[in-house]
Amino acid sequence: MTKHNPGVRVPPQSRKSLRAIATSVHFALQHDCKKPFPIVEITELVLPKLINDFDFQVRSIEEMGNDHGMTYPDRHIMCIREDVYERACRDYGRDRYTMCHEFAHLLIHEGIDVALARGEDPLKPYEDSEWQANALAGELLMPYAEIRGMSPDEVSSIYLVSAAAAKTQLRLIG
């Protein structure tokens, strides 16, 4: 989570607006924010019911290479590398985060006319598709209102996220 690979330029979203989206998702899914966000179950069982043509693909390491996940929001396709998926099913924090990051792309980047993040203007974090997906994944997995005042170890243990993700989320909420 410390290294940032820029994505594509998308309409700006603040952390506050992404937090509101996460809150709406938790509410819509009737998720008790005091326990881990069930990203695997949502991907496998809920999304196919909500999105008529949703296609979840677990792909081989050979197919995906260094990509742990890829999402095509306009085509409703989410691809997760098989080893990442298997670890997410076993509640490995980093891999749960990867799946949630791809879910975030699906939620917030459908129908967006993206412009490649190239050119003279540096890409600001709040208009970067990857930053937005990371921020929304963090808010979905570690709800702001619940983790305030917790230690990174508590967040990691309760919400089944990596220590790095817990530290980053706590730092960002101040």
Whole-structure pTM value: 0.93
Task: Name residues whose C-beta falls within 8 Å of residue 64's C-beta, 6 or more positions apart in sequence.
Answer: 70, 79, 81, 82
Query: CA–CA separation, 69 vs 78, rounded Å?
Result: 7
pLDDT confidence tier of residue 122, bands split at 50, 70 and 90: confident
Give the pLDDT confidence of 77-96 residue by residue, as tens digits. Answer: 999 999 999 999 999 999 99
Locate 24 and state its tokens: 């709406």
- Which of these ranges, 46-50, 115-119, 123-127, has the smallest mean pLDDT? 115-119
pLDDT confidence tier of residue 66, bands split at 50, 70 and 90: very high
- Using alpha carbons, select from 73, 79, 28, 80 the residue that is nearest to residue 51: 73
